[in-house]
Amino acid sequence: GRLIFSSPSAVADYYMEDLRHLETETAVLVLLDNRMALIREEILSLGTVNCTLLSPREIFVRALRWGAVNIVLLHNHPSGDVTPSREDIQTTRRCIEAGKIMDIPCLDHVIVGGGNSDYYSFRESGMVDFTNEKISMTAEQILRVNESNSTYKGGTETMPENGRKDDLFVPD
Tell me: pLDDT of 31 over 90.
Answer: yes
Q: Flag the least confident range among 25-29, 69-73, 112-116, 140-144.
A: 140-144
Mean pLDDT of the region 150-165: 47
Q: Average per-residue pLDDT in the chain? A: 78
For the question of whether the overall pTM of this predicted structure is more than 0.95, the answer is no
Q: Which of residues 120 and 138 earns the better pLDDT score?
A: 120
Task: Classify 126 in phi/psi space as left (phi over 0), alpha (psi -120 to 50) or beta.
Answer: left
Which one-letter DSSP state was computed for residue 116?
Answer: S
Q: Flag the least confident range among 21-35, 72-86, 123-137.
A: 123-137
Give the Cα separation of 118 and 9 in Å (integer).
12
Give the Cα separation of 169 and 172 in Å (integer).
9
Which of 104, 119, 133, 123 is CA-nearest to residue 32? 104
Which of 44, 170, 25, 149 is CA-nearest to residue 106? 44
Tell me: pLDDT of 103 over 90.
Answer: yes
